[in-house]
Structure 1
Amino acid sequence: MVSMNRPAHFVLLRGLWREARHWGEFPAQLQQQFPGALIGMPDIPGNGLRNHETSPDTIVGMTDALRQQVDLSQPIRLVALSMGGMIAIDWMTRYPAEIETAVLINTSARPLSPFYHRLRWTAYPHVLSLIFHSAEQREADILRLTSNRYSHDGKLLQNWQQWQRQNPVSPISAKNQLLAAMRFSVTAKPQQPLLVVTSRSDRLVDYRCSQKLMQTWNADYVEHESAGHDLPLDEPGWLAEIIQRWFTAAID
């Protein structure tokens, strides 16, 4: 059970090549649901404010780098998207005393799901093309692939392209992050309370990966019917409310 006797401490973890600003409106929506909460959004080395560093090529390396950025004086509630979910799983299992609970959004892991679910076969050409496109075109590709609601939002795309110009992800960091995500395997079951959230209409990762996590670990589970892979972008208010309801139900 989750205790509510002290202010909540959330840490938000993004995925491949993304930074804190890509959370968009979601942190504000989460803050509305948890007014006294501390919400941290650390960047993976290689991304955002840490783009001058080289990304680790393992999830373990990313976890250990992120732990150095957050206050560990009280247990953390992780909210993690995609590759961020892999980091959350690693963090929960290797440092269980540090994590109170976690929300995993559209994530996947070997050996629980086959490779053709972890990356939908229809997405292969789009993902491969990212390697050869310019940084600005790559941001457009990512937006179209991960959002069902804002895939053609010109203003949002301009913001993403500007962030990439300000804090570019180097080719070596981009490669290392992709390798880390591809190699990650689950080796132990998290013992903390766990909510798995998925987008039924995710065009990047098959929603059955989230179902498999739920079934294997007997976790709580919620689906959204129409959102894309970037669920916090497409439905930030809905997601924050789902998390608040779940924590309310988990109060001891």
Structure 2
Amino acid sequence: MTWVLLRGLMRESRHWGEFATQFQAAHPDEDIVTLDFPGNGVLHRETSASSVQEMAEFCRHELKKRGYAPPYQLLSVSLGAMVAVAWADAHPEELSRVVLINTSLAPHNPFYHRLRPKNYPALLFTMLFGSVAKREQLILRITSTTSKQNTTVAEPILKQWQAYAENSPISVRNIWRQLRAALCYRAPAQKPALPLLMLAGEQDDLVNPQCSIRLAKKWQCELCLHPAAGHDLPLDDATWVIQQVAADHAA
């Protein structure tokens, strides 16, 4: 069986950090595959897809090109979770299980929950005019509670993220294409017909956790809330995420 790990807006495979290694250790008999969306990471020179559905189609074809056959299990964060939902809606037969982390989906969640309004000015200014260092510093601050509380933890992570951004720079045009795709995507009314687990950080400073709470209630699926983690749950508490995935599978 293959686990496919999907990151969010402006993020790439390397942003999984140590989580991917820890997840592999917890699933020694399974393949763990991290994918970059066009415009990010190793694909930073490519044009980002204009829709979430196109991102899902890219993932499908990329996995087949690499020789991984379905069914797949998806573990996905934020925009990656939208891609997972689009994939599950269009091709449920290819997936055996989906884990959504800190996602938000129109029309089920209002825009002011999907992106907290207090972040609008800083995000807009930094994306348009800020340096790579300022952008990565802002992203780390609003996505990770652990890093915000512990500068000893934050400093090496920030250096890594800045190096990624300098080594594989994402263009402003691709940032806007990905953001527009996320804002325009409309999720299905009904839960995709396969096992689905939702995880969310109660201290998410980017996306209101009410998005996950409301969606889990509407779709009648399992939801686990982390009381102290933020948007980047795998960064804030990798062990907890792995435990919830294992517990859900055991159940």
Q: Determine the structure 1 residue equivalent to 2:89.
A: 93
Q: Structure 1 residue 57: deviation in Å?
A: 1.8
Looking at structure 1, the residues matched to 244 and 198 of structure 2 have their Cα atoms a distance apart, in angstroms, of 11
> What is the deviation of 1:108?
0.5
| Structure 1 CA distance for aligned equivalents of residues 244 and 26 of structure 2 | 10
Contact 1:93 1:188 in 2 (8 A): no
Measure, in 2, the Cα distance between the counterparts of 1:217 and 1:150.
32
Q: Which residue of 2 aligns with 1:124?
A: 120
1:47 aligns with 2:40: yes
Matched, 1:245 2:247: yes
Distance, in Å, in 2 between the alignment partners of 1:130 and 1:245 is 39
SS of corresponding position for 2:198: strand
Residue 149 of structure 1: SS of its match in structure 2?
helix
SS at match of 1:109: coil
How big is each residue's C-alpha offset from its partner over 1:169-196, in whole Å with a ceiling of 9 and x where there is no partner?
0111111001111111113431111001
| Preserved contact between residue 63 and residue 69 of structure 2 (Cα < 8 Å) | no
The aligned residue for residue 206 of structure 2 is 204
Q: Select between 45-54 and 68-77 the one with higher mean Cα deviation.
A: 68-77
Aligned residues: 242
Match runs of 1:1-252 below 5 Å: 8-71=1-64, 73-131=69-127, 132-151=129-148, 152=151, 153-189=154-190, 190-249=192-251
The CA distance in 2 between the partners of 1:128 and 1:174, in whole Å, is 11
Which sections of structure 2, spanning at least 5 residues, go unmatched?
none
Deviations 1:138-170 (A, max 9, x none): 011101110110134111111100111110001
Give deviations 1:7-35, integer Å, cap 9, x for gaps: x3100010000000101111122122211
- Equivalent residue number for residue 3 of structure 1: none
Structure 1 position 47, deviation (Å): 0.3
Matched residue SS, 1:84: helix
Q: Check the 8 A contact 1:33/1:241 in 2, yes or no.
A: no
Report the residue type matching 2:38 in the other structure.
P
Shift in Å, 1:96: 1.0
TM-score (norm 2): 0.93
SS of residue in 1 equivalent to 2:32: strand
Contact 2:115/2:206 (CA < 8 Å) preserved in 1?
Answer: yes
Counterpart of 1:138 in structure 2: which amino acid? R
List runs of 5+ in structure 1 lacking aligned partners.
1-7
1:125 Cα deviation from its structure 2 partner = 2.2
Structure richer in helix, relative to its length: 2
Which of structure 1's runs of 4+ aligned residues deviate more than 4 A? Answer: none
CA distance in 2, matches of 1:164, 1:174: 13
Partner Cα distance (2:158, 2:28) in 1: 30
RMSD over aligned Cα atoms: 1.1
The one-letter amino acid of 1:63's match is A
